[in-house]
Chain A
Amino acid sequence: MELITEVIIFVLAAFVGFEVISKVPTTLHTPLMSQTNAIHGIVMLGGLIVIGLSDDIVNEIIGTIAIAFGTINIVGGFMVTDRMLGMFSRKPKPQVEDKTTVTPAESGGEAGQ
């Protein structure tokens, strides 16, 4: 693929990530962090690709460790996120706090003066 095409994809992906993710309420930040953490486990694909490239022993060891690490990242990441989010969905009522405006921090600051 052309380098410039990859750069365009990179820049647009950064904006998509920013737009999608900036809407997450604070409450879900730990699960979100865990989920995105699992998503970067996708580097494991790189391990699958490079391990087939050569059959020298050092490369094979490096590649196997990389695949194992990447798989831990993916499997562990998604499972742990699922466990965390399970805590939320067990709630009987789906009443979600949907605050559109949060009181700015000034209120706290003024009270302290």
Chain B
Amino acid sequence: MTLAVLEPGSDGVQLLYLLAVVLFILGVRRGTHPTTAKQGNLIAAVGMAIAVVTTLLLDGIGNWGLIVAGLVIGTAVGVVASLRVQMTAMPQMVALYNGVGGGAVALIAWSEFRHALDIGHELPLDELIPILFSMVVGSISFWGSNIAFAKLQDLIPTKPLAVPGQQVINALLVVGIVAACIVLGINRDDPSEPLFIAVLLAAALLGNLVVLPIGGADMPVVISLLNAFTGLAAAAAGFALDNVALIVAGTLVGSSGTILTLEMANAMNRSVPNILFAGFGGAPAAGAAGGEERPHKSVGPQDAAIALAYADSVVIVPGYGMAVAQAQHAVKEMADELEQRGVTVNYAIHPVAGRMPGHMNVLLAEADVPYEQLKEMDEINPEMPRTDVAVVIGANDVTNPAAKDDPDSPIAGMPIIEVDQAQQVIVIKRSLSPGFAGIDNDLFYRDNTSMLFSDAKGAASEIAAEVENL
């Protein structure tokens, strides 16, 4: 059975694809403002629906039982996963969705290759090259994203896992993949499927090996890069299938992912090659190594409440720890209590607070924190010396003064929220343990720093209650 309404490659089909692509571009464009972004997402989704329905109506589309099975399974998984995921787990979710997208590209490339073998059709180079490209890159993206997911989900250690001779193995794999692709190209009148599958597996291994040695702190950059890769792989699949919708949509994602990747890397003052090939400073910096017994001050919620209630200006520095503890609502309550007493409260948002740019803003927006209280790092840092109390809640590496003071630190040069410049610092944290980067934080041992050892949610609620009772 086939619906066979539209002729593939006909003007009508191309116009429908053009409409879909225009809606993608408009959708992304509307995504540039918080007020129109939701609408933009809907517009892009409508574009996707048009592209899918158009394709389903093409002449030659068959095998309906399997198509429906694939659509139903995919929709069910997608709906359930996106409704159940916590806001805090968003980066992992994006990694996972990106991974399945990459997997789909690789499988489609394989299927096309098999089809050419079946009908004994010699693949022209302008089809074979895109097929090989999308297969290799899709496979890398699938496995790399899965590793990124597993790391962020704490299924495997977030610490860099290095294999001896890693770079050499990776280089050999790349050379092997390229060589095998050239052989497939030369023998394109009768290409070998086992060799094709070997390339698929080598790319899978490469995806694992490239991402495994990268520390958890760098993972957003990696996910973003893999997102761009999947986009390019989809564009390549479009070349192979002569499908203009795939080419344009894939390329759009390729360019956006590239920009995001560079921007995130920039925010951490790291270059992308450095992240990919260096791992994250294997050992902790010498200066911070013996820090377990260093003296520090600790306070209780009552003292913290007094310090905060009698301050003029308070800056809250939220981090991933606050998000994990689901403490954003409790923090908002605490801020409300302080504001009722006339204290000026602002939130300092590091570019990579949470685990991705904008992640923290989403979490705080969820708790109804007014948009204008969210200050970006460059905006808040000059205000720090005039700030009475800075409250660090579940943030760690992004406040570490070692980034400025210690040139040997693995995070040297990373821009930080300069809370150490504030008159007084209260750090709400469970323990003195190091953060995502795996290094000790000098801030905890400064004279003007007090540690409040507690979970973020409990501490914020207690402080709010104490302030209310003052």
Q: Which residues of A approach B to under 8 Å, CB–CB?
A: 1, 3, 6, 9-10, 13-18, 20-56, 58-60, 62-91, 93-97, 102-105, 107-108, 111-112
CB distance from A32 to the nearest CB of B (A): 5
In which size bucket is the chain B interface?
A: 35 or more
Q: Which residues of B approach A to under 8 Å, CB–CB?
A: 2, 9, 24-25, 27-29, 31-35, 37-38, 40-42, 44-45, 48, 51-52, 55-56, 58, 60-63, 66-67, 69-71, 73-75, 77-79, 81-83, 85, 87, 90-91, 93-94, 97-98, 100-101, 103-105, 107-108, 110-112, 114-115, 118-119, 126, 223-224, 227, 230-231, 233-235, 237-239, 241-257, 259-260, 263-264, 351, 354, 356-359, 361-363, 365-366, 368, 370-372, 374, 376-379, 381-382, 384-385, 404-405, 415-416, 418, 421
Residue among A13, A59, A96 making CB contact with B371, cutoff 8 Å? A96
9 cross-chain CB contacts under 8 A? A1-B244, A6-B239, A21-B259, A27-B357, A28-B37, A39-B28, A43-B234, A51-B66, A59-B118
Q: Which residues in B have their C-beta under 8 angstroms from that of A52?
A: 2, 60-63
Given A17-B252, A66-B108, A29 and B263 contact (CB-CB distance below 8 Å):
yes
Given A26-B351, A69-B100, A84 and B246 contact (CB-CB distance below 8 Å):
no
Q: Which residues in B have their C-beta under 8 angstroms from that of A81?
A: 41
User: A70: nearest residue on chain B (CB-CB)?
Assistant: B104
Q: Which residues in B have their C-beta under 8 angstroms from that of A23?
A: 29, 32
CB <8 Å contact, B79 and A76:
yes
The answer for the CA separation of A50 and B131 in the assembled complex, in Å, is 13
CB <8 Å contact, B104 and A73:
yes
CB <8 Å contact, B111 and A36:
no
Q: Which residues in A have their C-beta under 8 angstroms from that of B253?
A: 17, 36-37, 39-40
The answer for the CA separation of A70 and B235 in the assembled complex, in Å, is 14
CB <8 Å contact, A47 and B108:
yes
CB <8 Å contact, A90 and B243:
no
Given A42-B249, A77-B97, A108-B378, A56 and B118 contact (CB-CB distance below 8 Å):
yes
CB <8 Å contact, A26 and B376:
yes
CB <8 Å contact, B73 and A18:
no
7 closest pairs, A vs B, by CB?
A: A71-B74, A67-B70, A75-B78, A17-B255, A76-B78, A112-B404, A29-B357
CB distance from A92 to the nearest CB of B (A): 9
CB <8 Å contact, A59 and B418:
no
CB distance from B439 to the nearest CB of A (A): 18
CB <8 Å contact, A20 and B28:
yes
Scoring B2, B31, B248 by chain A CB atoms within 10 A of each residue's CB, the highest score goes to B31
Q: Which residues in B have their C-beta under 8 angstroms from that of A107?
A: 378, 381-382
Q: Which residues in B have their C-beta under 8 angstroms from that of A9?
A: 244, 247-248
